[in-house]
Chains A and B, each alone.
Chain A
Amino acid sequence: MTRAAGGPGERPLLLRGGRLLDPSTGLDSTGDLLVSGGEIAEAGGTIEAPETAEILDVSGLVVAPGLVDLHVHFREPGGEHKETIRSGAAAAVAGGFTTVWTMPNTDPPIDDPAAVGFVRAEGERAEGARVMPIAAASIGRRGEQMTEVGELVLAGAVAVSDDGSPIWHAGLLRRLLEYTQTFGIPVLQHSEVRDLAGSGMMNEGRVSTALGLRGQPNAAEAAMVARDIQLAALTGGHLHVCHVSTREAVEQLRMARRRGLPVTSEVTPHHLALTDAEVRGYRTEAKVNPPLRTGEDREAVREALVDGVIDVIATDHAPHHYEEKEREFDDAPFGAVGLETALGVAITELVGPGLMSLAGVIERMACAPARIMGLEGGTLEGGSPADIVVFDPDERWTVEPDTFLSRSRNTPFAGRELTGRVRRTLVGGRIRFEREA
């Protein structure tokens, strides 16, 4: 949906009369925002529209920095029936995301420079959100030998991770946290002690006991986080802990923050919103890894997000074909899509009950991810790339997976009423997504 306005070499674009909300600069007032040459020219107050400008009335809507998702799975290559880079990038802008970091656990995995280049190129062709590839941390994601981190960065990788599997060998993670410092990129860790998580299908506790499903104890996550924090302390490398789900892991992260260690972390919308009770009825849409935990864990991750111990919300968007989820619980794959519901879930679950302000949500979904990873964007400051989301913070809508732009429908939020919906998404000044009310 590209228009000849806003981008480089195109007419300027004026967003008129929106609520400009940018926690990175403390901006929160009604006013205009001018986009020119793919950048934000000016934000705030009344702006005289240049003669050639296209004017867009956004009164009643919030204009904020585009959302940044540090954790998505776009399945290409190898799982194109679930999601392609194109469909994923389209789903991202539909959810207000202007940048997404793609995990490398494709088939084959993204562990060489050519593969990184492919994701980059396909991402650009997609003309959705900016697609930034995370490369595998170890060759074949086998957790044995480090990938050519330098080559991967030169090809366009922004981080390394073996997500889906933990980097199990402490020695390898130590070397990764040291070696990546040359390139200034983080190591993203899926924290799970495999012998404890075992073949657990859900959280271990009262619900798994009643359902007769094998469980993963909280300690499987927390023990790994504790170990990895020590390695970050040892090396000074940037450790980013993916999808934190347990109160015990939060305690570890709180300690790391107190000590000023280079550790950041994320939490998913589903761990902020749901508990393991969601699995009752053997609902495979609620089968995710790490699993949905108890109400106490949910409280702990919410609190940690509010006070900043957890830095960002990341979706862990994990598409699966409906046939793969339409199975016995044991045989269904882990994962839920999240790009197109994340903002609505965050507003509904965090702003609704008064845990966070709308600015707080934008901080955790746009500003903080850009800041902790040193990305451009995540701000409305003049001279920044015009990556912008325009949304109605009060629109109530019902999640209908059939309308997703993602190729997959596997969401635990189907049928839920959410508040807050994306209306326009601009990437580099161009309108990449729009939805009329």
Chain B
Amino acid sequence: MTADERPGAGLGKDLVGLEGLTGEQIVAILDTAEPFKEISERRIKKVPVLRGKTIVNLFFEPSTRTRISFEFAEKRLSADTVNISASGSSVQKGETLVDTARNLEAMRIDMVVMRHGSAGAARFLAERIPSNVINAGDGQHEHPTQALLDLLTLRDRFGRLEGLKVCIVGDIVHSRVARSNIWGLLAVGAEVAVCGPKTLIPLGIEELGVEVFGRVEEAIAWCDALYVLRLQLERMQAGFIPSLREYNRVFGVSSERLAAADEDLVVLHPGPMNRGVEIDSDVADGPRSVILPQVTNGVAIRMAVLYLLAGGRPEMAEAAKRGEG
């Protein structure tokens, strides 16, 4: 598959989700991330790619990892950044999303990275302002940069994505990470399955083109990569599962369960982990885990997305990095 060589890999103005992107476009983003990986390994971690660009990180939901990862990516590309979180902003005073967006726009910004609790919020914003909008998670809809960094991590490990068997385990219903990974993985030709208690598997998921496993043992026997989702404590209170203890007993990913698995099977997790619930520590910290490489790749992926939406060409990323773009 050749990299898409159009400006911005033909992504358009925004990245609101992976649904609808082609495999070529996704591979182009991953390829663009490759040269950016090295920046973070330097002593002076800064290149002038986005010098003079103003980026607003607009977070309506608490986030540590994603927000920091974006901020590192922006700063290492020399953009000027402003962080806005919902608490302490005019949002708390009842301002609508449209008004917030228009006010930011009036201050002449270039890009918005947004995390929001409502599905569709990123698209809503993108349709109303001329700035580039990057979705950093919208409700239970999508979290595209997370899935891209997951794909990059899998490609690093296996050298390919096509034909790879990936099973996502856990709370699929409430997971934007699951949705973005399903779209992304299917687009690049991977096989995708989901696994979890029926209460956490959404209706009609098979129609997206994924297989469903009822038992985690079956999933482990089938897949090359096991993507373990965070199980939020609220799910127990809302009655989706009877208890966390039972969840761990039936669906928890433990070294015992992985003992019989293929030697190359890897385990991913989007973080933050609930050790002892969906994943046991010996797995999280063990040789199959690619959880920290995921985090490292997150910065490179976000650099690539920022660069492409600013109009960069995938094949020019290496030159841009050296300040020649």
Which residues of A are in contact with B by a Cβ distance under 8 Å?
A: 204-215, 217, 281-282, 323, 326-331
Contacts and interface: CB of A to CB of B under 8 A. Distances in A.
Interface string B99-143: 000000000000000001111110110000000000000111110
A327 B97 contact: yes
Contacts of A210: 19, 179, 208
A322 to B, nearest CB: 11
Contacts of B141: 211-213
Give 6 nearest A-B pairs by CB, closest first: A282-B120, A212-B141, A206-B204, A212-B140, A328-B118, A212-B119
Contacts of A331: 118
Please classify how large the interface on chain B is, using the bins under 10, 10 to 19, 20 to 34, 35 or more: 20 to 34
A215 B119 CA distance: 12
A183 to B, nearest CB: 42
B302 interface: no
B207 interface: yes
A205 B203 contact: yes
A213 B119 contact: yes
B96 interface: yes
A214 B140 CA distance: 9
Given A281-B123, A327-B96, A327-B97, A209 B118 contact: no
Contacts of A205: 203-204
B21 interface: no
13 contacts: A208-B204, A209-B204, A210-B179, A211-B141, A212-B138, A212-B142, A213-B120, A214-B140, A328-B116, A328-B121, A328-B124, A329-B118, A330-B139
Nearest to B121: A328
B140 A217 contact: no
B25 to A, nearest CB: 19
Given A206-B204, A206-B208, A212-B138, A329 B120 contact: yes
B126 to A, nearest CB: 11
A281 B203 CA distance: 20
A285 to B, nearest CB: 13
A328 B123 contact: no
B176 interface: yes
Nearest to A198: B238
Contacts of A209: 202-205, 207-208
Contacts of A217: 203
Given A204-B203, A210-B179, A282-B123, 17 more contacts: A206-B203, A207-B204, A211-B120, A212-B138, A212-B179, A213-B119, A213-B120, A213-B140, A217-B203, A281-B123, A282-B120, A327-B97, A327-B124, A328-B118, A328-B120, A329-B119, A330-B118
A212 B204 contact: no
A330 B119 contact: yes
A287 to B, nearest CB: 11
Contacts, number: 66
Interface of B: 19, 96-98, 116-121, 123-124, 138-142, 176, 179, 202-205, 207-208
Nearest to A279: B120
B49 to A, nearest CB: 32
Contacts of B124: 282, 327-329
A212 B117 CA distance: 11
B141 to A, nearest CB: 3
Contacts of B208: 206, 209-210
Contacts of B139: 212-213, 330
B217 to A, nearest CB: 25
A130 B242 CA distance: 55
A84 B141 CA distance: 37
A331 to B, nearest CB: 7
A91 B320 CA distance: 60
Contacts of B123: 281-282
Contacts of A329: 118-120, 124
A166 B176 CA distance: 32
A326 B125 CA distance: 11
B119 A211 contact: yes
Nearest to A213: B119
A281 B19 CA distance: 12
- Chain B CB within 10 Å, residue with most, of A205, A206, A215: A206
B143 to A, nearest CB: 10
Contacts of A211: 119-120, 141
A9 B205 CA distance: 66
Contact of A212 (B98, B176, B207): B176
Contacts of B116: 328
A197 B205 CA distance: 19
A215 B204 CA distance: 11
Contacts of A213: 119-120, 139-141
A328 B119 CA distance: 8
B199 to A, nearest CB: 13
A212 B208 CA distance: 13
Nearest to A330: B118
- Chain B CB within 10 Å, residue with most, of A205, A207, A212: A212
B286 to A, nearest CB: 32
- Chain A CB within 10 Å, residue with most, of B98, B118, B208: B118
A207 B141 CA distance: 11
Nearest to B123: A282
A208 to B, nearest CB: 8
Nearest to B97: A328
- Chain B CB within 10 Å, residue with most, of A217, A327, A328: A328
B291 to A, nearest CB: 24
A206 B142 contact: no
A204 B173 CA distance: 11
Nearest to B140: A212
- Chain A CB within 10 Å, residue with most, of B123, B140, B141, B202: B202
- Chain A CB within 10 Å, residue with most, of B117, B120, B207: B120
A194 to B, nearest CB: 15
A204 B124 CA distance: 22
B194 to A, nearest CB: 11
A204 B203 CA distance: 7
